[in-house]
Amino acid sequence: MEDIITVRGIVLKHSPSSDYDWVATIFTAQRGKITAFARSARKPGNRLSGTVEPFCFGTFKLFAGKNSYNIVEADIENYFEGFRSDLEGACYGTFFLELASYYTRENAEDVELLNLLYLSLKALLKESIPNRLVRCIYELRALQTEGEYPGVPENIRLLDTTRYTLDFIAQTPLEKLYTFSVSDEVLDELCAVTREYRRRFIDRPLKSAEMLSAFDNAL
């Protein structure tokens, strides 16, 4: 007999399956990245309609089958609707989802990365902090969360303020990550470090990164 489980997470991507279904990739706190089917969710008026769009964050009740999950119920707490009217923010957000998908694994709990992703998406919707800075913070802290952050680079000439900022990003509690701003010069240096670390630690191209080229030439 199939078991029902409850997970909290965010939809990373979805695609159509059969005539009326969606198949979604969900980054969950309890089970890492999972694949789940939303049966008949493409039918107008279905109770799961709209609950497996990318960025949907909430609680999902699932049937745990032998080879896959089926979504029984979804309680969405945040649809991140602001991205619908913010093309630039949506492009950055899509990149954040893809990077999270790159790092997370099936049946591997990664609560800190999920929390980082959620807070970073919220930060993209704030006017008080530039999207480029949010991206740098997210990428660098994701490296630290996954145990790959090598520390402040010694082979790149950096301002003392930039070095301090890199240490702050790596060490400060998540809830304080997006509470500061930097000068354009420091931000340019953070972008350079982020670009170098992405080349070093990400072993394949990320499709969503190409969408950012129109907004983020510095990276």
Q: Long-range contact list for 109-115, CB < 8 A, 24+ apart? A: 109/29, 109/30, 109/31, 109/32, 110/27, 110/32, 110/145, 111/29, 112/145, 112/174, 113/27, 113/142, 113/145, 113/146, 114/9, 114/10, 114/27, 114/28, 114/29, 115/174
Confidence at residue 185, expressed as pLDDT on a 0 to 100 scale: 97
Residue 216, pLDDT above cutoff 70 = no
At 4, give phi and psi (nearest 5°).
Answer: -100, 130
Q: 75 forms bridges with which residues in the sheet?
A: 59
pLDDT band at residue 218 under the 50/70/90 scheme: very low
Which tens digit of pLDDT belongs to each residue from 162-197?
999 999 999 999 999 999 999 999 999 999 999 999
Q: Is 197 helix (H, G, I), strand (E, B) or coil?
A: helix
CATH 2.40.50.140 boundaries in the chain: 3-78
| Tokens 């670009």 sit on residue | 195
CATH architecture of 3-78: Beta Barrel (2.40)
- According to CATH, the topology of domain 81-214 is de novo design (two linked rop proteins) (1.20.1440)
What contacts 172, CB < 8 A, 6 or more positions away?
A: none
CATH 1.20.1440 boundaries in the chain: 81-214
